[in-house]
Amino acid sequence: MDRVPVPEIPVSDSQTPSPHDIVPMLIGSTVEAIERELVLQTLASCHGNRTHAARLLGLSVRTMRNKIRQYATDGADIPGHG
């Protein structure tokens, strides 16, 4: 499956972008591509800790594990993945 590029959302400690800033950047991307990027960026921000990333995203650890397995199969670089 070809990976559709999704723009990385710049986030600084001092200012979190509002949805009004983020949504226009995402128009034209598929929901699947946005979800993949959100999962991978959250995992990276959690230093590869799958349990913490799953909790932040409101996912079960099993769902997170299954998503990561699929992304790895598709060739994605998984943060913190051995």
Q: Is residue 68 very low, low, confident or very high in pLDDT (cuts 50, 70, 90)?
A: very high
* 8-26 per-position pLDDT tens digit: 655 545 567 676 777 777 7
Task: State residue 22's pLDDT score.
Answer: 74
When pLDDT is averaged across residues 33-54 and rounded to a whole number, the result is 93
SS (H, E, C) 9-73: CCCCCCCCCCHHHHHHHHCCCCHHHHHHHHHHHHHHHCCCCHHHHHHHHCCCHHHHHHHHHHHHH
Domains of the chain, CATH where assigned: 28-73 (1.10.10.60)
